[in-house]
Every structure is written in structure tokens, then in C-alpha cells.
Amino acid sequence: MPTRNLICICVASIVSYACYNVSIKKQSYASQFAEVVDLVQKESLLERSDEELFDNAISGMMRGLDEHSAYYSGRAKEDFDNDLKQQFGGVGMYVDINPATERLTVMSPIPDSPVQRAGIQTGDIIDQIDGESTVGMSRQDAIEKMRGPIDTDVTVTFLRGEDAIQTNLTRQMIPIPSIRGDRRKADTTWNFNLEGHQRIGYIQILQFGEQTADEVKQVVSDLNKTTDALIIDLRNNTGGLMRAAIEISNLFLDGKYKIVETRRRGGVLENEFFSDKEFVYGMKKPVVVLVNRFSASASEIVSACLQDHGRAIVVGEQSWGKGTVQNIIPIDKGRGAIKLTIASYWRPSGENIDRRVSEARGGKEWGVRPNKGLAIEIDEEQLFNNMRMRNQRASLLAPDTKPNQNGNLVPKLTDDPVLKKAIEYLNKLLAPGAAA
């Protein structure tokens, strides 16, 4: 037999043997899994359907991979889809837990929502949802209880001082905004110029959804005609679609600059994303990006990109440090979906973003850090108050100097130390005679 044929037969035999071993192992695991399912169905005190057991098994496997991989089915998948599509069925208010009282509190009603029409105000405490006390309830659980199909009702009891206000709210389709300006005009549209600083534009990006890049492009294009500087607020923005972050970064770069790169398992380079020359905001106009401890993922792509290329300076706190990419993969004919971490992403400079990578090396260099002299420490109470301030300004249809019944005055920009620092920095650059 010729040597070449012998080698081919040997290689084929090895491959076949390896495939056989893999197949046997998979069959063994499948057999063990089936055995456990059968045991649970027969002996478990609580009866569960096959669908529930399947969902729980997949959820456990995904959670065991990393903190960002997940399985969605039923209501959870519907909520996840709505977030990306930027709409949901709900009552229309921003809520959070006030660290001073540890109570679920209205940050601000959304204009033209069931909550606003019911007269609910910033600072009202959410005491009960459909008769269930919110004491000890997480923010996420409360949100899920108040969301639901449109035209269905939920009864919410609010506390305002000594008064209890019980309201029956009919859910409607609530758009999830991608962006906000500094304050609303009387017609509910946004004013993207900072109050008292008309030369400075302000845009807050709340999330990176399917429509975000187009929304930002339109606003930035308009601001390029009316402002000499821009503040991009990415605080508390936990991310979203990487594609949106890449498209937004591109609005501020005038050539072929690396925006971000992704690497697969083992550090193998997967892709590099570059800007083109279709920038929208003038290259000589200064840009400031605001970040804090909850700015993550897509927020870090934008802020790291603009910082690395000297296109923007960063003010605030060190960001969260989420440097991984997740793909959304439908399964079971769309009944469910898995969010699977498939790659890591890296700054244009090649520096690491992911917190876990840095901590594994014993370091603290992750995410995006403010430029020298522009870091501001914020405690939990200040963080909550700053969020409430921004939400309250966003909920007002026109400036108002009278307090509401919770004693809340229209907050001033100077109440936000991070924004104040950014304004001071830009005013120095815009002052007559400032160095170019």
C-alpha cells in the first residue's frame, strides 16, 4: 500500500475515533440530564412542566458562563425585546430607591403618561402595587409589576407626606427615549442648549438602542449650527447595541480612526471598526463626555474612543468596566433567546476595558477614567440626588420656580458638581483670548 494512502487511512481513523469519543461524551451527558429530569418529574414536591424545567436548565447554564450571558423566555424576553425597540407597556415614570429612606421613590413622571395625568409628582413614595407593599421590594421587581400589556390596569398607592394617594392606572405604550436635552420646552420638545450657557450644547444618551444613532445624529447636526461646544452625558448609561456606539463615535471623527476592536477566545483579533469622513460635529469644537460608575459597555466604547483620539475629554468617575460583546440568538422558533458573550472589546489604544481582566492581574486599570484633574468623587446620596435632578428637569414642560407639594424646586445646573466642572472647563476654552 502506498505510504500516502496509509497516512490518509491513519488520519481518517484518528478523526473518526475523536468524533466517536465526543459523540459518546455528549450522549453520556444527555443521558445524565434526562435521568435528572425524570427524577425531578417523579419525586419533586413541587410539580413543574417540561417547559419550566427546560427554561430553568438553560438559565442555569447561561448564568454559569459569565455575569452577562443570559437566557430569556416569556415575559423576560418580551421586556428585553421592548428595551431594544425602545417601547414598553407601562404607566410612565422613572423610579429608584432613595438611599436616605430606603423607599421606592418617583424620580419623575414621563410627560403625557398615565402617571403624569394622575398628578403624581417627583418625590412621591410608591407604597403599594396592586395591594402589595413595596417595602424591601427591589427596583426591578417593582418595575416588572407595573409594566404589562397595554389597556390593562394596575393599582398603585403613593405616599406624599402624611397623605396616601391610591390611583388606578391604565397601562399605555410608553416610548423609551434614547436621548434627552437639558429641559423641555412648553410643547414637550427638548431644548438641547444648556440653560444660561447657550454656546454649549447638552445631550444625555440614556441607552444605545435601535434608533439611538439616528436620533443623536439629528440633534448633533442641529447643535453644530448653534453651539461652540458640546457635553455628552453618559452617566448611568449601562450600554446597549455596539453598532449604535460605533455609529455615534463616527459623528465626531473626520478620518479613518479606529473606534474599537473585538477579540475572540484566546485573544484572537476578530474585527476592527474604523470611522469614515462623515463627521457631523465640527472637529475644532470641544467635546466633554460625562461618565460615572454605572457607565458601561457601549458607553465605554464611545468615551474611550473619543478620549484616545483626543477628540473629547472625560469628566466624572471611573466607568464600570464591561469589555465584552454579547450576541442575541433566538432559539425554539423565537420563543426564547440566549444572550451569549462571544468576544471582548478593546480601546483604540489597545488598553483593556474589562474590569475582570484587570482584577485578575491584580490591577485597577479598567474602563474609562476621567482626564487628569477632572475626576469627581460622588457618594451614593449625591448620585441619587443628581439622577433625580436630571430626571426632574426632564419632566418639566417649562421652567418653574415654585416647589411642588413634596418641596421640590426646579433644580439648577449648579446642583450637579460633575456638570458644573464640565461647564467650567468649556467656559475657559470659549473665553475670549483663550488658546486655540
Contact predicate 188/166, CB 8 Å: no
What residues are paired with 375 via a beta bridge?
A: 316
Compute how many other C-beta atoms are within 10 angstroms of the C-beta atom of residue 178. 24
The DSSP-derived string for 117-184 is HTT--TT-EEEEETTEE-TT--HHHHHHHH--STT-EEEEEEEETTEEEEEEEE-EEEE--SEE-SEE
CA–CA separation, 365 vs 177, rounded Å? 32
Q: In the numeric block, which cell numbers belong to residue 323? A: 469589555
Contact predicate 358/323, CB 8 Å: no
Catalytic residue among 308, 344, 395, 416: 308
Greatest Cα-to-Cα distance within the chain, rounded to the nearest angstrom: 98
Any idea what DSSP says for residue 265? G
Any idea what DSSP says for residue 236? T
Catalytic residue among 258, 285, 322, 421: 322
Catalytic residue among 178, 297, 303, 395: 297
Contact predicate 379/318, CB 8 Å: no
- Tell which residue, 423, 409, 412, 405, has the closest CA to residue 386: 412
Compute how many other C-beta atoms are within 10 angstroms of the C-beta atom of residue 357. 17
**Distance of CA 122 to CAs 75, 125, 181, 391, Å?**
28, 9, 19, 9
Q: In the numeric block, which cell numbers belong to residue 274? A: 474604523
**Distance of CA 137 to CAs 121, 132, 172, 197, Å?**
21, 10, 24, 41
Is the CA virtual torsion 343, 349, 350, 351 positive or negative? negative
Has 319 been annotated as catalytic? Answer: no
The contacts found for 410-418 with CB under 8 angstroms, 24 or more apart, are 413/182, 413/194, 413/195, 413/196, 413/197, 415/385, 415/386, 415/389, 416/386, 416/389, 416/390, 417/376, 417/378, 417/382, 418/235, 418/290, 418/292, 418/315, 418/316, 418/376, 418/378, 418/386
Has 217 been annotated as catalytic? Answer: no
For 44, residues 6+ apart whose C-beta sits below 8 A from its C-beta are none
Has 138 been annotated as catalytic? Answer: no
CA–CA separation, 197 vs 182, rounded Å? 11
Contact predicate 103/162, CB 8 Å: no
**Active-site residue numbers?**
297, 308, 322
